[in-house]
Homo-oligomer: A and B are copies of this chain.
């Protein structure tokens, strides 16, 4: 049972992660959604922009501004990179907790952050305090945090797939490959030619092969797990579907006789949102569509020394808004699963 009502604010609720927060929070029994801001849509009813929420959320977008936000217990920032760091200090000082769905607090190294995000960091002193919000790694730290850096979508799928292998030292950390495929919603709700229906439909392509911002984030997480730096080749692709990430992970085994299936099952036995499928399975992205779940399967083709891990999530749920709510539940002492228990939308 839920005994508390968390006062929640959202900064920047007009993109897909913001819309997904709204969809999930609308039926979260422990949440009182107080305020949602948007510079471009201020004054407009939320349900006018998102007709699917007609009858669900009776709130208008407000101008950004800290007053109402600081009355919140927790604020989600679902903004472009570089916005949350402008608000963080004031919100924290005002007593709110902050969960940033963008990348402002994901990298520990200020220099690396600035290199990949192309701007100076507004509050580098908070980088050390920020907790990387992957509950399967940092659950205890999350409970006590003020500032959560919600992980990226690719990093969630890739890390959950590689972690057990690296934590146990079973694979060569210098030769990791992550071939990842994302639905188009991962590119956001901004109007760009390359994500138009007529461009992205019935099409498949890689992008960002020379370098992608999620690469240093994944490397940082995997290095923590293995205790040394890792060599990772990361190739993201755009698949013609709305939601979903499918990461196909390749690593070279250094110990041949480990029972990988048992290892994964044990590692995630108590995780409510990681589902290790039976050996030989091929998880589908639609099996997590709309759900806060990562499904994993393991293969070792032809009995060779390459292990293949298949990892699927919904980029907007376990890869963004759902994980953010999971983090909120932890922050406020709720059962981690509250508001996140519905199955995937299938078919």
A54 within 8 A of B: yes
CB 8 Å contact bits of A284-320 with B (1 = contact, 0 = none)? 1111111101010001011010101010100000000
B16 touches A198 (CB 8 A): yes
A81 within 8 A of B: no
* Residues 55 to 93 of chain A near chain B (Cβ within 8 Å): 55-56
Name A317's closest neighbour in chain B (CB-CB). B345
Q: Which residues from chain B contact A52 at a C-beta distance below 8 Å?
A: 286-289, 291, 343-346
A242 with B347, Cβ < 8 A, contacts A196-B196, A277-B54 known:
yes
CA distance in complex: A243, B198 (Å): 8
The residue among A202, A235, A252 with the most chain B CB atoms within 10 A of its own CB is: A202
A26 within 8 A of B: yes
Name A246's closest neighbour in chain B (CB-CB). B204
A204 touches B233 (CB 8 A): no
CA distance in complex: A209, B306 (Å): 12
Q: Size of chain A's interface in residues, with CB distance under 8 A?
A: 86
CB 8 Å contact bits of A4-18 with B (1 = contact, 0 = none)? 000000000000100
Q: Which residues from chain B contact A295 at a C-beta distance below 8 Å?
A: 51, 54
CA distance in complex: A289, B61 (Å): 24
A201 with B204, Cβ < 8 A, contacts A195-B196, A196-B189, A308-B209 known:
no
CA distance in complex: A302, B343 (Å): 40
New A-B contacts (5) at CB < 8 Å, excluding given A53-B346, A190-B193, A207-B282: A52-B344, A181-B204, A205-B282, A209-B282, A235-B301
Cβ contacts A to B, 17 pairs, < 8 Å: A19-B346, A23-B344, A52-B288, A54-B287, A181-B204, A183-B202, A195-B198, A197-B242, A198-B347, A199-B347, A201-B201, A203-B241, A204-B285, A205-B284, A210-B301, A233-B306, A235-B308
